Structure 1
Amino acid sequence: MVDETQTWAGPPTTERSSREDRPQPHARHRHGRGRRGHAAHSPAEAGGPARARPSEGCYAALDLGTNNCRLLVARPTANGFRVVDAFSRIVRLGEGLIGSGRLGEAAMDRAVDALGVCAAKIRSRHIAGARLIATEACRSALNGADFIRRVERETGLALEIVDRETEARLAAAGCTPLVDPYSDGAVLFDIGGGSTEVVWLDRVETCDGGPPAAIIRAWVSVPLGVVTVAERHGGVKVTRDDFEAMVTEFSPHLDGFVKAVGPHNCGRLHLLGTSGTVTTIAGVHLDLPRYDRSQVDGTWLGAEQVRVVVDRLIEMPFSERAANPCIGVERADLVLAGCAILEAVRRAFPCDRLRVADRGLREGILVELMRADGVWREGVEAPVARTNT
């Protein structure tokens, strides 16, 4: 396997610097071009509704990952946004990709079916702005570009294949409100199906009344996620030796990132996790009878609490994992791969506290779209809406 890990860092950060001194990855226009040159279009350009005024319309964010297809539709509020529609379905688009290098027909069919539902939801709203992205599976597959063309042909949605820098930035934008403002920042990790992004993150309060802005000090993108790790090591019957082998495979990919971060005090940092792995751990820890986002998002877990839950999951037989209401059949063979990636991050950054985020890329997209349109600034004239013909 070729090591495609990507790391970025600014100057040494042993001292806290001002906002102006902290480098950030360059932002891309919301209708920019993806890695393979596919332009991202507004829903109107993709056969959807006309673009509405920001004050009148909704914003749409779609994330097609290696494992999940997710959509959020939201309307701006005084200092954030309110979700008015959502969709999530496990499609396992990256199933078998690690062996063949290609997206499989059955996996593409599942994804197109889910995207058809998303397209109908988007077309039913007056949309002020949208960004529809695809990540690691489409990024790395030999037939990723062909699949994107099929999606547009069959659903009318023009997906943008984003690079890893953009993926890290969007996750940071979505999760920044959960960074403890009294800490020295957070180590954010987003464990996906085909890749994992880890970001050393600060936050800064904005002057437009919207959510705090993300300040990225360093980031790394590792081409391993729950689907790829589980396919390599197995996910149904996982022994402690199997689990440790997963951790051992992932850990070296963080070495360059740890060096880029430089000297740091983990006692002044905290972990911030966004993925099905950490929300599952929180749900199991809370012993929820069914998954409840309102109880999970923003939850703090101590290092010992995380260890206890992970040990419990390793000891669980597959049938018990599948029956757990916070895991389910569709995730039962992936959760321990995610826990192994989390363990590698915890060993690299042994922080005492972990905050759980049931938010991420989609929320980051919404924040960037709304901020670009100035929805939280007073006295900003909204663009003229187009009308359907």
Structure 2
Amino acid sequence: MSKRVAVMDLGTNTFHLLIADGDIDNYQEIVHYHEAVKLGEGGINKGYIVPEAYQRGIDTMQMFAREIKANNATETRAIATSALRSASNGQDFIKEVKDKTGISIEIINGEQEAGFIYQGVKISGCLSAQNSLIMDIGGGSVEFILGNINGITWKQSFEIGAARLMDLFHRTDPIPPASIEALNLYLEDHLNDLFTAVATQKVDVLIGSSGAFETFAEVIEIEKGHPFDLKTTKNYNFDESELLTLTNKFVQSTHKERAASKGIIPVRVDMIVAASLITRFIMHKLGISKVSMCSNSLKEGVLAGMLA
């Protein structure tokens, strides 16, 4: 008998709820919500959750609890990452959620986060025997996982997420060239462990896990006049020049131009600039020309463990 489970991925920008049943090779999504909570807004680099964001988080968790009950999920896991990990009032939030909903939130570290992301990407079927570098750009942190279908050779989480970079460097729009240069130098300084890890390994492809990479794929296809549905597109291979052209366009754009672009969900309208800059930096720095998108990420990795 298959069980029905609920996974909550409580990220810096977005809270996700995935309710599914079946087995891991053939599971059925019952509910899939993503709420733009923006938990890091206004306080991400100060180390606390501001009152408005805190309240949005509580309201969303109460809504998730109602959905879980209505859909008769028998097992739940709520996973919190960078924003709650580093917030001084993170424990207050966890206690209030437990008191009001009965949901126990687990705070995981960056290594665990990277491990779940790998499992999520693996079950999508987009890994091969060749080495891939998986990159998951969150609001608070960015995870890099080096490995293949047989396992992980190296993984690490870096507190350089799009919300953090936006707060540090993207204060005027479009982002000025001096800020781009400062952001690139910042990445150069903070990603030494990544450069060391890949120095002796040949990376066949960069796999972008969900988030910004879904936006890149969707906008590229919409601009070609093609339909694009993330529910049916689990994997997508980019044309290098199309991806670089699009990221360049995002970097040079204004908020108004991005907001008018079909394919960018509201929570990513501003974050997409920092995400574009990280993506371009990694491609150029590591000399990677093959890039693909995988719509699976942490929540599917947690789901894999629950349904196994």
TM-score when scaled to structure 1? 0.73
8 Å CA contact retained: 1:194, 1:228: yes
Pairing of 1:175-186 with structure 2 (within 5 A) = 175-178=121-124, 180=126, 182-186=128-132
- Give the corresponding residue for 1:333: 270
Partner Cα distance (2:178, 2:296) in 1: 32
1:157 aligns with 2:103: yes
**Which residue type is aligned with residue 191 of structure 1?**
I
CA separation of 1:180 and 1:143: change in aligned 2, threshold 3 A: closer
SS of corresponding position for 1:97: coil
1:310 shift after superposition: 0.7
1:285 aligns with 2:231: no
Partner Cα distance (1:180, 1:111) in 2: 33
SS of corresponding position for 1:60: strand
Question: Of 229, 233, 238, which residue of structure 1 is paired with 2:169?
Answer: 233
Partner Cα distance (2:205, 2:24) in 1: 29
1:121 shift after superposition: 1.1
Partner Cα distance (1:123, 1:181) in 2: 35
CA separation of 1:222 and 1:99: change in aligned 2, threshold 3 A: closer
Partner Cα distance (1:182, 1:165) in 2: 22
Q: How many residues align?
A: 305
Percent same amino acid among aligned pairs?
26
Partner Cα distance (1:78, 1:248) in 2: 42
1:183 shift after superposition: 4.8
Partner Cα distance (2:117, 2:11) in 1: 13
- Give the corresponding residue for 2:179: 242
CA separation of 1:180 and 1:174: change in aligned 2, threshold 3 A: closer
**Which residue type is aligned with residue 113 of structure 2?**
E
1:62 aligns with 2:11: no
- Give the corresponding residue for 2:147: 201
Partner Cα distance (1:89, 1:281) in 2: 20
1:350 shift after superposition: 2.2
1:137 aligns with 2:55: no
Question: Of 157, 175, 178, which residue of structure 2 is paired with 1:221?
Answer: 157
SS of corresponding position for 1:86: strand
Greater Cα offset, 330-339 or 246-255? 246-255
- Give the corresponding residue for 1:314: 251
8 Å CA contact retained: 1:243, 1:337: no
Partner Cα distance (2:144, 2:163) in 1: 17
Partner Cα distance (2:125, 2:3) in 1: 29
CA separation of 1:291 and 1:125: change in aligned 2, threshold 3 A: same
- Give the corresponding residue for 1:297: 234
8 Å CA contact retained: 2:162, 2:271: yes
Partner Cα distance (2:293, 2:69) in 1: 32
- Give the corresponding residue for 2:43: 97
RMSD between superposed Cα atoms in Å:
2.1
TM-score when scaled to structure 2? 0.92
Pairing of 1:10-29 with structure 2 (within 5 A) = none
Pairing of 1:51-90 with structure 2 (within 5 A) = 55-77=1-23, 79-90=25-36
SS of corresponding position for 1:96: coil
CA separation of 1:328 and 1:81: change in aligned 2, threshold 3 A: closer
Cα displacement string for residues 193-245 of structure 1 (whole angstroms, at most 9, x for unaligned residues):
100000002114xxxxxxxxxx1110121111111111111264213443333
1:361 aligns with 2:298: yes
8 Å CA contact retained: 1:291, 1:326: no
- Give the corresponding residue for 1:190: 136
8 Å CA contact retained: 1:243, 1:336: no
- Give the corresponding residue for 2:205: 270
Partner Cα distance (1:370, 1:77) in 2: 6
**Which residue type is aligned with residue 136 of structure 2?**
D
Question: Which 5+ residue runs of structure 2 have no aligned equivalent?
Answer: none
1:111 aligns with 2:57: yes
Cα displacement string for residues 45-100 of structure 1 (whole angstroms, at most 9, x for unaligned residues):
xxxxxxxxxx2431111011111000101111482311111111111111122443
Cα displacement string for residues 316-371 of structure 1 (whole angstroms, at most 9, x for unaligned residues):
22211011121144321111011112123223432221110122011001101111
Partner Cα distance (1:82, 1:64) in 2: 21
- Give the corresponding residue for 1:352: 289
Please identify which structure carries the higher helix content. 2
Partner Cα distance (1:101, 1:78) in 2: 37
SS of corresponding position for 1:100: coil
Partner Cα distance (2:66, 2:108) in 1: 23
